[in-house]
Chain A
Amino acid sequence: MHLTIHHGTLYRYGEAANRVFQALRLWPIPGGGQVIRDWRVEIDGRKLRPTCRDGFGNPAATHVIDGPVASLSIVVHAEVDTQDRHGVLGDAVESLPPLFYLNSTELTAIDPALQALADAQRDTSGGEIAQLHRLCDSVRERVEYRSDSTHVTTSAAEALAHGAGVCQDHAHVLIATARALGFPARYVSGYLCASADGAAASHAWAEIHVSKLGWVGFDATNRICPDERYVRVAVGRDYRDAAPVRGVRHGGLAETLEVRVRIGEGQ
């Protein structure tokens, strides 16, 4: 499938910031059968190219804007050919061994409730994939999708206790519980071309390492394995590792975000 992505983010600073530093992980990571036809990232209209790969293999770049900065826009425009592989990654070259992704982080730390949620899915009948689908469903049942109910620093344990969250929280809860069952699991940030009416968003899901297939994607929010509507951008242990944008600013008050994403199916 040919996808056209247009993703715009506008940062507004309540009071002008003196200086803004950002690290961007907004370029697609190789693998998963996606073929990049065009991929452009623009900061306030200036083109930015990745300058290095981080340890997870994600292409990355930083930029600094000297103030006063009242607002800042980041636009991603891309053309990608994708294929449905039922979530199986297959061909990616990995810089870190699967075992690494058993490591827990602050955002994915286990607690008794997460442990119990994992323990309820110890039944391996039907194989690992079936087991993980059941886990995925149970995560979705316990964490209702509600936009704006959590924020970027909400942990898996907090999201589960809260009983609601967004795709980031579903991914974190799934990752924490999968690791508790002994599966290496990681966070993926990317884009999803959701429905026929063009409504779409940047998205996050999990990848879980199973013995025969390697890395397999699981989107707990939509209870499926990623198909040709998904574009992978960055991976890591959790949101903090794979965040599309991480920033530090000097001065400036509350930051507000406006996001416009348009993903369309091309010809």
Chain B
Amino acid sequence: MSDTAVFDEMGWPGETRAPYALVDAWLKSVPHEQLALKRREAEGLFRRIGITFAVYSEGGDPERLIPFDLIPRVLAQAEWQRLKLGLEQRVKALNAFIHDVYHDREILRAGRVPEQLVINNSQFRPEMAGFDLPGHIYSHIAGIDMVRTGPDQYYVLEDNCRTPSGVSYMVENREVMLRLFPDLFRRASVAPVAHYPDELLETLRSVPPPNCRGEPTVVLLTPGIHNSAYYEHAFLADEMGIELVEGEDLLVQGDVCYMRTTRGLARVDVIYRRIDDDYIDPLVFNPNSMLGVPGLYFAYRAGNVNLTNAIGAGIADDKAVYIHVPEMVRFYLGEEPLLSNVPTWDCRLPEDLKYVLAHLDELVVKAVHGSGGYGMLVGPHATQAQLAEFAALLRARPHDYIAQPTLALSTVPTFVENGIAPRHVDLRPFVLSGGDRIRIVPGGLTRVALREGSLVVNSSQGGGTKDTWVLEG
């Protein structure tokens, strides 16, 4: 941790901030034993509904629950409005950028983003070059990871433009809270989130492929029950009332994509795919993929099916490309960015590398092509040996790393073993970009680092989730 004071969103231990007035009063009135009881009840609910996620590598129970904390995280309407405008702006610029890099590459020609960073990036998909997508949208569903360090200080930590997950927790957390504490919601006026699946379906239906006639048929393509986010895939398909398909359910014939039904083949127009680029089509990408559909890429390019998110959208969530997002906002929209980036050192630049090596013990170093918190060094928590190891890595492969200051993430009161205590949180709002407009359900998924002092909110590393409230009016 850095020495800066940590911002507690409720105001703890000082005066309670306005948005938290109700939560504070509630916490003072409810005995801890009852909270503990409710927590067990919540766990039972999650387990019975089957909201689990799989972590196979760790052994033990293959279907684990992500810990759920009962105390909501609250944003005032004004706070949310600012974030919302910033998110819309950012996602517009990200989509414009992805379209540009697969077409005229104007931002590269203008020298505003280094050409090599994009063109020689493993997330750059040559298969997408020169291909026009409906509405020029690539990242239809984007998850933007935000952190907060003060009343008015928000930073974007990461853009997830490929297949961001977690939205089912956003919806189910609210559902469970409504069941456990109905009277709490009677006293507060909280913006609903249950319509997210409707908004998602509208978004998917707004981007039919050019050759689609009539109402588009939308399906959700999942890798199957062994995928850690399978519950979410089933949940979303169910809520949208669309088929949840696996690769073997789809067939491409004459560059048209069909699903196998008991009544024969039925044409598919839009696929919300939750499998990675590499597995989409064994005829073009990983030839050993058993998850994908042979020929799907060609049906896509022939304009007979649309994929969300688009192949190649990952170029915009590379951690080194991230540095340039504010510049994208200026370049494509002619506006000043409303959301800030975390100050980032690009180790490919000699000046930056020098600084990073000199301050390694205060910084967070991340591999640019990694994801999910692996291949990462948290300077203040690292041993001498780890620091030395990373210094050597940085010198050998500076192109593969960026570094950021260790931020004092805001905290929110959390019900832990020995009572209620502040724990660090982040926020992942989900931004839906359709052919008609951008849709954002108020709030997002709040992830909380349950271990005291920990800044790691990933569910695979001991993180939990909270219900996120945006107060109305």
| Chain A residues at the B interface, C-beta cutoff of 8 Å | 21-23, 51-57, 60-62, 64, 95-97, 99-100, 102-103, 236-237, 240-241, 246-248
Contact, CB under 8 Å: A62 / B126: no
Contact, CB under 8 Å: B119 / A52: no
- B101-134: contact bitstring with A at CB < 8 Å (1 yes, 0 no)? 0000100000000011001100011111111000
B174 adjacent to chain A (CB < 8 Å): no
Closest to B127 in A: A55
B83 adjacent to chain A (CB < 8 Å): no
| Contacting residue for B129 out of A55, A64, A240, CB 8 A | A55
Known A62-B283, A96-B126, A96-B129: A54·B301 in contact at CB below 8 Å: yes
- For the complex formed, measure the closest distance between the CB of A189 and the CB atoms of chain B, giving whole angstroms: 16
| A52→B126 CA distance, assembly (Å) | 15
Please, which residues of chain A bring their CB within 8 A of the CB of B283?
21-23, 62, 246-248
Contact, CB under 8 Å: A56 / B255: no
B298 adjacent to chain A (CB < 8 Å): yes
Contact, CB under 8 Å: A97 / B126: no
| A22→B287 CA distance, assembly (Å) | 12
Known A53-B301, A248-B282: A99·B252 in contact at CB below 8 Å: no
| A54→B130 CA distance, assembly (Å) | 9
Please, which residues of chain B bring their CB within 8 A of the CB of A22?
283
- B15-32: contact bitstring with A at CB < 8 Å (1 yes, 0 no)? 000000000000000000
Closest to A98 in B: B119
Please, which residues of chain B bring their CB within 8 A of the CB of A103?
119-120
23 contacts between A and B (CB under 8 A): A21-B252, A21-B283, A21-B295, A23-B298, A52-B255, A52-B301, A54-B127, A54-B284, A54-B301, A55-B127, A55-B131, A61-B255, A61-B298, A64-B251, A64-B253, A96-B129, A97-B115, A97-B119, A103-B119, A103-B120, A236-B126, A246-B284, A246-B287
Contact, CB under 8 Å: A100 / B130: no
B294 adjacent to chain A (CB < 8 Å): yes
| A3→B252 CA distance, assembly (Å) | 35
Chain A CB within 10 Å — which of B253, B294, B301 has the most?
A: B294
| Contacting residue for B126 out of A55, A102, A246, A248, CB 8 A | A55
B357 adjacent to chain A (CB < 8 Å): no
Contact, CB under 8 Å: B115 / A62: no
| Contacting residue for B120 out of A61, A100, A240, CB 8 A | A100
Please, which residues of chain A bring their CB within 8 A of the CB of B131?
55
Which residues of B from 63 to 81 have beta carbons under 8 Å from A?
none
- B359-391: contact bitstring with A at CB < 8 Å (1 yes, 0 no)? 000000000000000000000000000000000
- For the complex formed, measure the closest distance between the CB of A149 and the CB atoms of chain B, giving whole angstroms: 22
Please, which residues of chain A bring their CB within 8 A of the CB of B125?
55
Q: Is the interface of B mostly helix, strand, loop or mixed?
A: loop
B194 adjacent to chain A (CB < 8 Å): no
| A236→B126 CA distance, assembly (Å) | 9
Besides the known contacts A21-B295, A51-B302, 17 further A-B residue pairs in the complex with CB atoms under 8 A apart: A23-B294, A52-B298, A54-B301, A55-B125, A55-B128, A60-B298, A61-B298, A62-B252, A62-B255, A62-B283, A64-B251, A95-B130, A97-B105, A100-B120, A100-B124, A100-B126, A246-B284
Please, which residues of chain A bring their CB within 8 A of the CB of B116?
99
Contact, CB under 8 Å: B130 / A53: yes
Closest to A236 in B: B126
- For the complex formed, measure the closest distance between the CB of A107 and the CB atoms of chain B, giving whole angstroms: 12
Please, which residues of chain B bring their CB within 8 A of the CB of A55?
125-131
| A97→B117 CA distance, assembly (Å) | 13
- For the complex formed, measure the closest distance between the CB of A62 and the CB atoms of chain B, giving whole angstroms: 4
Contact, CB under 8 Å: A64 / B128: no
Please, which residues of chain A bring their CB within 8 A of the CB of B295?
21, 23, 62, 64
| A95→B103 CA distance, assembly (Å) | 8
Closest to B301 in A: A52
- For the complex formed, measure the closest distance between the CB of A50 and the CB atoms of chain B, giving whole angstroms: 10
Closest to A103 in B: B120
Please, which residues of chain B bring their CB within 8 A of the CB of A56?
126, 129
Which residues of B from 227 to 253 have beta carbons under 8 Å from A?
251-253
Chain B CB within 10 Å — which of A51, A53, A62, A99 has the most?
A: A62
- B286-308: contact bitstring with A at CB < 8 Å (1 yes, 0 no)? 01000000110110011000000
- B206-246: contact bitstring with A at CB < 8 Å (1 yes, 0 no)? 00000000000000000000000000000000000000000
| Contacting residue for A99 out of B120, B253, B284, B301, CB 8 A | B120
| A67→B285 CA distance, assembly (Å) | 24
- For the complex formed, measure the closest distance between the CB of A108 and the CB atoms of chain B, giving whole angstroms: 14
Interchain residue pairs A-B with the least CB separation, the first 7: A21-B294, A23-B283, A52-B301, A55-B127, A55-B129, A95-B129, A95-B130
- For the complex formed, measure the closest distance between the CB of A197 and the CB atoms of chain B, giving whole angstroms: 37
